[in-house]
Amino acid sequence: MTQPARSPRPPRQRQRKAPPPPRRPRWGRRLAVGAAATVLVTGGVGHAVVAGLERGIERVDPFGALDQRPAAGDGTNFLLAGTDGRDKISPAERAAYRLGGAPCHCTDTLMLVHLSAKRDRASIISLPRDSYAEIPAYRDPKTGALRRTHPQKINAAYAEGGPSLTVRTVEHMTGVHVDHYLEVDFTSFMRTVDAVGGVEVCTARPLKDRYTGLDLSAGRHRLGGGEALQYVRSRHVDGAADLGRIQRQQRFLAALIDKATDTGALLNPVKFGKVASSLLGSVRADRQLSSSELIEFGKAMRNFTPASSEFTSVPIGDVSFPVPGVGSTVRWDEAKADRLFRAVREDRPLAAHRTQRPRAATVRVDPAQIRVQVLNGTGRTGLGARTARALRATGFATTGTPRNAPRAKGATPGADRPVPRTVIAYDPRWDDSARSLATAVPGADLRPVKGQGQVLRLTVGTDHQAVRRVRPETPATPPGEARHGDEVNCG
């Protein structure tokens, strides 16, 4: 922080010898900077910074023509629309990140974000872009003609009637009152990721999409703005299409929150100004979103952690619901979706309450697909059964009743010969499964045994400490099921 300037000399001394003219603006600048820094620090986020940012936000009026709206509830609801905006990208970036073609003037991503009344929880609900929707009747802004209610995909509401029709459609489908509207395009997304120094993502398997150019090996990667855009846009890395993309978007947002809070970007006025100007420099927002509210939200998020956020997507009833003239759509499970949005209206958490537990490590193979036979090699009664229970608790498919390990060759009958090292014996064909089990049993030796088959054999030795919690890389959050942010980002 800039140090305040020293106090000026008493008036009597100044009358005797006035300071040279060039020094006046210099001291004035120092005083102004010192005062501004004090305002920024004591204000948490800073009125001066946010007021300047507010002037750069393009304003829209998504609420002016709306009627018969849902009642407002506790907390604050944002509708976050991710739009194409490739027309603002440089030719070099379009080529590098496979952003060719004409912009679609539609919403590429829709999320309903609920900030709790106590400002201690953010609930992010993804609305699949291909969701079946009944677009409410509206008057065409270009022709003035009245168009009746009609079926369509939810992302078409923006193309037909812009932000206003998008808000109207979402409110009609969810019964949730939208308080604020934010529209982010490709440019602001990439600049924001670069402003925080990149974001780390992890994947237990390679991700490659020839349409977006995404090409990540298994492991951890720090993504810059352009690579991050490829990551959140990719729909062709697996058979999950848009639902798989939603999973990656949720993981990325959790990682972005982690990075922003861990680096102090929300506490440091300079960092906050850099990040916020990158984000808001090409954002469109409703006219009611004032600088005072931005300051309030910034202050509220100072104590946020990934565990303060929770992610889910709308429960799905039919992933391929055909609509004449529209094509295949995603149909929501109306009963489950109604329960979800009722919780939002009532300002209730979406993710189940949990006790504080250590983070789960990410593994490549889903533990539910790994069969494990547990042997007790220590002579300690019940250790095999306890280990098997711990493995089942974190998802592994243990098989058979745990028993004692066979004695070593040459051992005297009845002699107590404990096994010093924990060993995982596995068929080389299931080496990925063996490594996933080894993540849950830190320090275990891997021993390949040709012809052993699919079942892994874990012999617990005297060095065994405890079973570590693990989780699969996919699926992270099934539709309709909520997870905290620290459960969906890198473990």
pLDDT reported for residue 474? 57
Please give the Cα distance from 447 to 434 (Å, whole number): 9
Whether the per-residue pLDDT at 264 is higher than 70: the answer is no
Binning pLDDT at 50, 70 and 90, where does residue 339 land?
Answer: very high
Mean predicted confidence (pLDDT) in 1-27: 42
pLDDT tier, 34 (very low <50, low <70, confident <90, very high otherwise)? very low
Give the per-residue pLDDT at 299: 66
69 or 299: which leads in pLDDT: 69
Lowest mean pLDDT among 37-46, 73-82, 198-207, 363-372: 37-46
**Mean pLDDT value across residues 449-458:** 94
233 vs 435, residue with greater confidence:
435
- What is the distance between the alpha carbons of residues 267 and 264, in angstroms, rounded to a whole number? 5
Q: What is the pLDDT of the chain when averaged over all its residues?
A: 78
The reported pLDDT for the residue numbered 272 is 63
| β partners of residue 424 | 446, 458
Element (H, E) at 471: strand 470-472
Nearest residue to 460 via CA among 443, 448, 476, 475: 443
Q: What is the pLDDT of residues 216-261, one digit of tens each?
A: 888 889 998 889 888 888 877 766 666 777 888 878 887 877 776 6
Whole-number pLDDT of residue 188: 76
Do the bridges between strand 483-484 and strand 371-376 make them parallel or antiparallel, or are there none, so unpaired? unpaired
* C-beta separation of 148 from 157 below 8 A: no
Reported as a pLDDT band with limits 50, 70 and 90, residue 199 is confident
CA proximity to 248, closest of 12, 473, 8, 13: 473
Tell me what the mean pLDDT of segment 448-454 comes to: 93
Q: How confident is the model at residue 266 (pLDDT cuts 50, 70, 90)?
A: low
